[in-house]
Structure 1
């Protein structure tokens, strides 16, 4: 039974979503909610990947257009676009605008193949069936957003 417990300890429940043709995932425990995309209020002098801000039950959140952030052509007319509201470990909350949420999956952390760049927003790649999924480093993405917002 200890072998099963050790195997379970390496599995992390992730939410899988698509941006363009590529699929990515983040830990489900980082996700506060998923909501339909709504009009945002523009933020002057924000980086190009910042859509703007939304009011979420009295809390103002910045929304990142993840397609623009990842240098992928955005799909503004896609009715399946949603904002994934995430919270980083340091407590920063923001929205990630993605083309569509696909599913949830148990990802074995031992099967993630690292990418070369240490400070990349991509932790690595993992195979899920016959699909290659990018595992995001949420701390890096949110950290870049906060840093860009304060400069």
Structure 2
């Protein structure tokens, strides 16, 4: 391989650092740059007329944030008795900040976006699947989840 070919392959490779978390037995990931912080799950304040996947709101240093239970959103039985459940505070590209309740954070991984296998149509919250160390990980479309939250909240 020539030096130019190696350089071309290096620039074609789109590696993104992702945070990997579990919802039930399935693992999912989102870009680490969209994560503001990870905090323990605390009791939320119920929001009347909210969609079923919204477990409520929390106060984060004076900012009120909506928390989405990703298990309910993804139609997976939630592990309510799991002490390792945490809230991942994320910010979408549109600047919307919310919390994602996950069963547990597993690790970080460098995901090559060229290796992602598409599994669903546009508009789905799952952007595809990727193999990492023989584990099948779902690539979550954060913009779709947050967009759904904003749309549902406004339409209520």
Name the structure 1 match of 2:112.
108
CA RMSD of aligned residues (A): 1.2
TM-score under structure 1 length normalisation: 0.96
> Post-superposition, which runs of at least 4 consecutive aligned residues in structure 1 deviate over 6 A?
none
1:129 equivalent to 2:133? Answer: yes
1:92 equivalent to 2:92? Answer: no
Residues of 1 paired with 2:8 and 2:83: CA distance? 44
- Contact map agreement 2:120 2:126 (CA 8 A) in 1: no
Aligned residues: 150
| TM-superposition CA deviations, 1:90-144 (whole Å, max 9, x none) | 0000000000000000000000001231110000000011110000110000000
Structure 2 segments unaligned to the other structure (5+ residues): 1-5
Which protein has the larger Cα radius of gyration, Structure 1 or Structure 2? 2
1:55-74 alignment runs, 5 A limit: 55-74=59-78
| TM-superposition CA deviations, 1:66-113 (whole Å, max 9, x none) | 100011111111000000000000000000000000000000000000
Structure 1 segments unaligned to the other structure (5+ residues): none
Name the structure 2 match of 1:80.
84
